[in-house]
Structure 1
Amino acid sequence: MAEPVVEVREGKLLGVTKNDRNGNKFYGFQGIPYAKPPVGELRFKAPQPPEPWEGIRDAKEEGSECFARHFDEFSGSEDCLVLNVYTKEILSPRLRPVMFWIHGGGFTGGSSSTNMYGPEFLLTKDVVLVSINYRVGALGFLNLPDPELGVPGNAGLKDMVMALKWVQNNIKQFSGDPNNVTVFGESAGGSAAQYLVLSPMAKGLFHKIIAQSGSVTNCWATSNKNAAYLLAANAGIYSNNDKVVLKHLQQLSLEDLQEALSKIPDMHAIGILKAFGPTIEKNSKEEAFISEHPLDIIKSGNYMKVPMIMGCVSREGMYIHALVNNNPKSTALMPTTLIPNNFQMRIGSNLHKDVSNKIKKFYFGDKDPSTDKDWINKLYTDNYFLYDVYKNAKCHLETNTHPIYFYRFLFDTDLNFLKHMYGITEPGVSHADDTPYLFKCDLVPEAEEGSVEDLGIRRMVTLWTNFAKYGKPTIDKNDSLLPVEWLPISKNKFRTYDIGTEMKLHDQHPETKYMEFWDEISQINPFLSKL
């Protein structure tokens, strides 16, 4: 078969032929620039449109991941604003639904690498898959107050908007339908999908979202902390002049930037704002990605209303507990890991101590918390992930005119790579362990036909691609693979769909009493934020 060539607005691309999970052919085009490299004076700033090239550009290999601390080590490049497109056909008159994947990583790391997110599962269905790299950490989320400098923050989120614009301009060349684009992502990618719904910059660029294990108000998904001066001081730049600080930070080599960043802890503490992350833009002279509190936007109804899937895996908090245990300076129930920072309770205050004790009593009773890993995992599931995802779905229900579907992911098999990575033996599904059911992952074994792993892959791929095609995840009541119809939530029924070896639709979320507990906690402090 001849190597595929596609012409996009910027030039011609040479792709590669691959095989999906069923052995059928599809085409891959990788490392496609969707923006100008954000280097030099463009460091920290909003992305600029891509530049054209001469001849045929080789698009057979992935581009670089964006420079950041990935797990425990720094790696990557600043020339990283690239995307990948996978499709069954090119230049076909029959256009297919587009699925636009945003990777996780807490807005501090991660990439769209096929080692983690191989397209072979989703391409068994009739969709076009796009996956992107975007700036993370300081390069994606540093902000400076001076409105003249054009660094109000959220460059990484603006990268996503630029990539969506590229899709609108070019995806027809890959037989993708620009009028049927579903944004989906996990963790930070799930949060980003919801952020895009709220941003005026992204209006009209997509048509549905799937937010897996993330929302705009999770404690790790926001940062109003300005760490630019801390970063500058770590690099030996001592100035309170924003223009001077920016000039010197833009001139730092990646090696010097890495040394300065390595002195800033990559925190997983729920009670403390992270150094770099999405923020509400203020005093900007350029178009803002988001300029109001997300919950204010949702309550106003002034956002792009689209069909939505939201939900979590059963024991998200396993991952956080593992990270805490791997830090020799941490203990499982430190004051910084109990109350989310958006509850605005000063650590060490009497109020913080009283509420911490109330949380411990509710989850552990009179037991020693350190002896019950499963309940620590449950606590971290609720306060790091589930409560905010649940709360945001309920808030959208008040103003979104389209259906909102909510789920629990329950498959606990050999595909759950994070549990194996951290040696977790307790029952349940860890944060991020749903992704190997959507993407081929090199960290897990191949799923044998007819196995429970195979069942999980086929169910997830079918649900997600059904939603991308039709706006609803179950379409055939006689489908033996999906024997239970998934209905959206309503004001009277917070219907929750169990995705596991057994499929079930609950009229109310099975964890409702825990969600109601956090509702009560959120009302204790009269100076709380919008939660």
Structure 2
Amino acid sequence: RFGYPVNDNAELVRRLRNTPKSEFVNLQQGWTDIAIPRGFRPFDFVPTAEPVNSPEPTFLTERPIDILKAGTFNHVPFIIGYNDAESLFMIHEHRIDSTVWNEFSRNPQFFVPHYWNIPQNTPAATAVSQAFRNLYWQDRPLGPDIMLEWTKFHTDQQFTYACDKSARLTAQHNTAPTYYYKFSFDGALNLVKRVTLLSDWPGAMHADELPYLWSMTNFAVSPILPSNPAVTVRNRMVRMWTNFAITGNPTPNSDNVLQNVSWAPFTTQNMAFMEINESLLPGTNPNSERLDTWYRLE
């Protein structure tokens, strides 16, 4: 897009390094510039494994998934989790592009995750596509009637599956504890949901947990009373994350603020996690009714 020569790597690098960052921002793709299936395609610019023989200092010489599988990462206490309705934002896709349903109906291979590298138009691809359509909306016709189920599939495809797999691989090798959570509280501080005009939909969408950890001064927030459940959830989130930063354990001791709950480390045997809602709810194997299908198909 810059019109720089692509046949001379050194010159291309020199020009890119001297290009003001504002020009990169101005030329980045907008939501409607991305071809369907949006949210199902790999991003163009992501962390990339560097050549081990690079003349420059290297930071990442292997694919992250290979590092996790080998256990060759820093073994330190690790906390990982997701929000229960991460991909609610995909609702807006249908408000700006009326062709999405028809494109997916005509191209069932769109439902096959690209990171599984399954060739298109093969029996394996057909089986995966059909399994997901059966699982999430019982193979009903695509349209507004399945919008909530549609966002659940997007949530699992974009966030939940990879997060869950990362937790499993980390816990399998990590000599330090791994803590796993699902944030599902839907309250007064779910500010991203408000800003994106999705408050009528259930759940916590992408980034909705952040105002429960940080003061989000770039959002207009109406004052809330101390008795509001959102204040309680915020106090618990801040307490657990502070505990984790200091001790490596989000619940190192009995604490009334945290309902005297103990957050058990996740292992591949116990599959323990903490659901963060109006109350703290210890559980096991989150979203197994959906993720079991993903692991069966991968």
Q: For this structure pair, what is the TM-score category when the shorter chain's length is used for normalisation?
A: 0.7 to 0.9
- Contact 1:437–1:457 (Cα < 8 Å) also in 2: yes
- Contact 2:5–2:11 (Cα < 8 Å) also in 1: no
> Given the two structures, how large is their TM-score scaled by the length of structure 1?
0.50
Query: What percentage of aligned pairs have identical amino acids?
Result: 25
Rounded Cα–Cα distance in structure 2 between residues aligned with 1:490 and 1:251: 47
For residue 339 of structure 1, report the CA deviation from its aligned partner. Answer: 3.1
Q: Residue 469 of structure 1 aligns to which amino acid in structure 2? A: I
After TM superposition, the structure 1 = structure 2 runs for residues 52-131 of structure 1, keeping only pairs within 5 Å, are none
Q: Residue 363 of structure 1 aligns to which amino acid in structure 2? A: Y
Q: 59, 70, 79: which is aligned to 1:309?
A: 79
Rounded Cα–Cα distance in structure 1 between residues aligned with 2:18 and 2:150: 44
Rounded Cα–Cα distance in structure 2 between residues aligned with 1:263 and 1:490: 40
Rounded Cα–Cα distance in structure 1 between residues aligned with 2:62 and 2:189: 39
> Which deviations, in whole Å up to 9, do the C-alpha atoms of 1:5-50 show, x marking residues without a partner?
xxxxxxxxxxxxxxxxxxxxxxxxxxxxxxxxxxxxxxxxxxxxxx
Rounded Cα–Cα distance in structure 1 between residues aligned with 2:223 and 2:24: 39
Q: Residue 13 of structure 2 aligns to which amino acid in structure 1? A: L
For residue 347 of structure 1, report the CA deviation from its aligned partner. Answer: 5.2
Partner residue in 2 for 1:188: none
Rounded Cα–Cα distance in structure 2 between residues aligned with 1:307 and 1:254: 35
After TM superposition, the structure 1 = structure 2 runs for residues 124-203 of structure 1, keeping only pairs within 5 Å, are none
Partner residue in 2 for 1:342: 115
> Which deviations, in whole Å up to 9, do the C-alpha atoms of 1:248-275 show, x marking residues without a partner?
3344455655555459946783432211
Rounded Cα–Cα distance in structure 1 between residues aligned with 2:94 and 2:281: 34
User: How much is the aligned-residue C-alpha RMSD, in angstroms?
Assistant: 2.6
For residue 489 of structure 1, report the CA deviation from its aligned partner. Answer: 1.3
After TM superposition, the structure 1 = structure 2 runs for residues 174-323 of structure 1, keeping only pairs within 5 Å, are 234-252=1-19, 257=24, 260-261=27-28, 265=33, 269-282=38-51, 283-319=53-89, 321-323=90-92
> Which deviations, in whole Å up to 9, do the C-alpha atoms of 1:361-386 show, x marking residues without a partner?
11111433421222112111111101
Q: Residue 385 of structure 1 aligns to which amino acid in structure 2? A: F
Q: Which runs of 5+ in 2 are unaligned?
A: none
Rounded Cα–Cα distance in structure 2 between residues aligned with 1:312 and 1:273: 20
Q: Residue 513 of structure 1 aligns to which amino acid in structure 2? A: E
Q: 3-state DSSP class of the match of 2:222?
A: coil
Matched, 1:475 2:244: no
For residue 293 of structure 1, report the CA deviation from its aligned partner. Answer: 1.9
Partner residue in 2 for 1:359: 132
For residue 302 of structure 1, report the CA deviation from its aligned partner. Answer: 1.9
- Contact 2:135–2:290 (Cα < 8 Å) also in 1: no
- Per residue, is there more helix in 1 or in 2? 2
Rounded Cα–Cα distance in structure 2 between residues aligned with 1:478 and 1:255: 48
Rounded Cα–Cα distance in structure 2 between residues aligned with 1:368 and 1:464: 43
Partner residue in 1 for 2:213: 438
For residue 478 of structure 1, report the CA deviation from its aligned partner. Answer: 4.8
Structure-2 change in CA distance of 1:241 and 1:369 (3 Å): same
For residue 341 of structure 1, report the CA deviation from its aligned partner. Answer: 2.2
Bigger RCO (CA 8 Å, 6+ sep): 2
- Contact 2:82–2:183 (Cα < 8 Å) also in 1: yes
> Which segment is superposed worse, 495-504 or 473-482?
473-482
- Contact 1:311–1:408 (Cα < 8 Å) also in 2: yes
For residue 482 of structure 1, report the CA deviation from its aligned partner. Answer: 2.9
Rounded Cα–Cα distance in structure 1 between residues aligned with 2:224 and 2:212: 10
For residue 242 of structure 1, report the CA deviation from its aligned partner. Answer: 0.8
Q: Which runs of 5+ in 1 are unaligned?
A: 1-233, 523-531
Q: Residue 46 of structure 2 aligns to which amino acid in structure 1? A: G
For residue 325 of structure 1, report the CA deviation from its aligned partner. Answer: 2.6
> Which deviations, in whole Å up to 9, do the C-alpha atoms of 1:306-338 show, x marking residues without a partner?
00111111111212x135235426525835863
Q: 259, 263, 266: which is aligned to 1:489?
A: 266
Partner residue in 2 for 1:520: 296
Matched, 1:383 2:147: no
Q: 441, 448, 470: which is aligned to 2:225?
A: 448
Structure-2 change in CA distance of 1:260 and 1:295 (3 Å): closer
> Which deviations, in whole Å up to 9, do the C-alpha atoms of 1:378-410 show, x marking residues without a partner?
111111101111111111112101111111112
> Given the two structures, how large is their TM-score scaled by the length of structure 2?
0.85
